[in-house]
């Protein structure tokens, strides 16, 4: 990662100047070759023009990035975690930079499902890019209620279920670290919606394949992996944890090898399409996930450093396909173990 999240200001300034130059940089012949590459993928019934979506919680509701990215170019937009009621999130400080990423303990701050439907969904519907809504809850019933509400409104292409949430009825154990509880959440969401259900797995487990098999049996149409890895940081001056929440989720380049390994294992064991994520900042990072078995990829933390990372990844994947004579991105999925 380029040093310093506060470089965002410099990168966003630079991005405005670069925006106009995309096509010119490709050259006329490459443009026509690029147009012949099929980048379209289908994930649990969601048809995407290309494999690239956004990591939930790192791209707001979309309009925040509209000055830098043509949102129509994305394969899908995955929006921030949405709960039944509004949530203020955790006390600050709730993010801290680490040598190759960041820790966050945002605590699912969001305006609640009703405000999402009224205030944010109309804008997203207009764009025409598939919208994946990330949902969360502290009880199985909350997950089911959010899923049910989002199913009746139109304009939502699929639900990504964040199972890395504390289960209040079970003393705060995360749903996503127990295969039985994870399956219970996915089963309840499945029963409340006709929309595609994507189970987003937590990496904070010993056996990721067992988790994936559990949610697959409970009715998931696709999988997202990985969510953040549990971590913490201590300030040596104050001699206290940096985050008010003490622990937080590690994301960014530091977690990429763990994520690629988990996609590799799950893709070979479970017959569901996977959206791979964890440290993707460049086209090569994204291709690594696809070669490991991911059908889609999400750019997360990289958006904070380079707000144009998503489109740069799409362009770079296209260039790679042109240069390597790949006519259809689907041929690359799982190449590293299939061929
Ligand atoms: C600030 C921040 C907020 C996040 N919020 C959510 C969320 O609301 N729901 C969710 O499922 N994942 C959330 N995530 C996890 C990301 O979507 C992604 O799974 C993870 O960060 C790994 O990808 P990355 O390394 O590219 O960021 C969040 C991550 C960050 C950094």
Q: Where are the chain's structural domains?
A: 5-338
The residue contributing the CA closest to ligand 1 atom 22 is: 278
pLDDT digits (tens, 9 = 90+) for 24-74: 455 666 778 888 999 999 999 999 999 999 999 999 999 999 999 999 999
What integer is the mean pLDDT of 93-105? 97
Q: Compute how many other C-beta atoms are within 10 angstroms of the C-beta atom of residue 70.
A: 13
For residue 39, give the nearest of 23, 22, 51 by alpha carbon. 51
- φ/ψ region of 156 (left if φ > 0, alpha if ψ in -120 to 50, else beta) reads beta
Residue with tokens 């940081």: 233
The residue contributing the CA closest to ligand 1 atom 5 is: 57
pLDDT at 273 over 80: yes
pLDDT at 6 over 90: no
Residue 57 Cα to ligand 1 midpoint, Å, equals: 5
Superfamily of domain 5-338: Aldolase class I (3.20.20.70)
pLDDT at 297 over 70: yes
What integer is the mean pLDDT of 171-186? 92
Higher pLDDT, 183 or 7: 183
Residue 266 Cα to ligand 1 midpoint, Å, equals: 20
- pLDDT confidence of residue 168: 79
283 within 8 A of 50, measured Cβ to Cβ? no
Give the Cα separation of 48 and 46 in Å (integer): 6
Question: Ligand 1 atom closest to Cα of 95?
Answer: 1
pLDDT band at 171; cut points 50, 70, 90? confident
Q: For strand 296-299 and strand 274-277, is the pairing parallel, antiparallel, or unpaired?
A: parallel
Give the Cα separation of 195 and 183 in Å (integer): 17
Phi, psi of 78 (to 5 degrees): -100, 120
316 within 8 A of 25, measured Cβ to Cβ? no
Residue 200 Cα to ligand 1 midpoint, Å, equals: 10
Q: Compute how many other C-beta atoms are within 10 angstroms of the C-beta atom of residue 184.
A: 18
* Residues acting as catalytic residues: 165
Residue with tokens 């964890």: 278
Question: Ligand 1 atom closest to Cα of 110?
Answer: 8
Reduce the DSSP state of residue 301 to 3 states and report it.
coil
For residue 77, give the nearest of 145, 158, 185, 10 by alpha carbon. 158
pLDDT at 295 over 50: yes
List the structure tokens of 102: 């960041």
Report the residue among 1, 8, 57 best suited for mutation to probe ligand 1: largest number of ligand atoms under 8 A from its CB.
57
The residue contributing the CA closest to ligand 1 atom 11 is: 162
Q: Compute how many other C-beta atoms are within 10 angstroms of the C-beta atom of residue 104.
A: 21
Q: Compute how many other C-beta atoms are within 10 angstroms of the C-beta atom of residue 212.
A: 25
- φ/ψ region of 107 (left if φ > 0, alpha if ψ in -120 to 50, else beta) reads left
Q: Which residues line ligand 1 (CB under 6 A)?
A: 55-58, 80-81, 104, 106, 108, 134, 162, 200, 227-228, 251-252, 255, 277-280, 300-302
Preceding amide of 93 cis, omega within 30: yes
- pLDDT confidence of residue 29: 66
What integer is the mean pLDDT of 102-121? 97
Q: What is the pTM of this model?
A: 0.93
Residue 23 Cα to ligand 1 midpoint, Å, equals: 31
Residue 78 Cα to ligand 1 midpoint, Å, equals: 11
What integer is the mean pLDDT of 76-101? 97
* CB-based burial label for 45 (10 Å; 0-12, 13-18, 19+): middle
Query: What share of the chain has pLDDT > 90, as a percent?
Result: 86
Report the residue among 100, 102, 116, 227 best suited for mutation to probe ligand 1: largest number of ligand atoms under 8 A from its CB.
227
pLDDT digits (tens, 9 = 90+) for 126-169: 999 999 999 999 999 999 999 999 999 999 999 999 999 888 78
Phi, psi of 70 (to 5 degrees): -75, 105
């Amino acid at each position: 990662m380029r040093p310093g999240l506060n470089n965002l200001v410099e990168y966003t300034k630079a991005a405005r100047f670069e925006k106009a130059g995309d096509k010119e940089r490709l050259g006329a012949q490459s443009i026509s070759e690029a147009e012949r590459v099929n980048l379209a993928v289908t994930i649990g019934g969601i048809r995407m023009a290309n494999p690239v979506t956004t990591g939930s919680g790192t791209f707001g509701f979309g309009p925040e990035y509209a000055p830098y990215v043509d949102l129509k170019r994305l394969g899908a937009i995955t929006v921030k975690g949405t709960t039944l009621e509004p949530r203020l999130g955790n006390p600050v400080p709730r993010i801290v930079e680490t040598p190759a990423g960041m820790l966050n303990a945002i605590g699912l701050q969001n305006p609640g499902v009703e405000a999402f439907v009224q205030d944010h969904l109309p804008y997203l519907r207009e764009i025409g890019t598939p919208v994946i809504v990330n949902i969360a809850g502290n009880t199985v019933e909350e997950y089911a209620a959010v899923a049910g509400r989002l199913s009746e409104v139109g304009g939502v292409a699929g639900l990504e279920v964040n199972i890395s949430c504390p289960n209040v009825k079970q003393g705060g154990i995360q749903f996503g670290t127990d295969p039985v509880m994870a399956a219970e959440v996915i089963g309840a969401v499945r029963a409340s919606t006709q929309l595609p259900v994507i189970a987003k797995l937590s990496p904070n487990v010993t056996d990721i394949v067992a988790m994936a098999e559990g949610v697959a049996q409970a009715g998931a149409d696709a999988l997202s992996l990985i969510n953040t890895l549990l971590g913490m940081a201590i300030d040596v001056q104050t001699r206290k944890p940096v985050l008010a929440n003490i622990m937080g989720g590690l994301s960014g380049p530091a977690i990429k090898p763990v994520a690629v390994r988990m996609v590799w294992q799950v893709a070979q064991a479970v017959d569901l399409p996977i959206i791979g994520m964890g440290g993707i900042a460049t086209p090569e990072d994204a291709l690594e996930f696809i070669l490991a078995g991911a059908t889609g990829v999400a750019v997360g933390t990289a958006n904070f450093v380079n707000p144009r990372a998503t489109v740069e990844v799409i362009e770079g994947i296209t260039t790679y396909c042109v240069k390597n004579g790949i006519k259809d991105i689907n041929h690359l999925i799982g190449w590293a173990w299939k061929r």
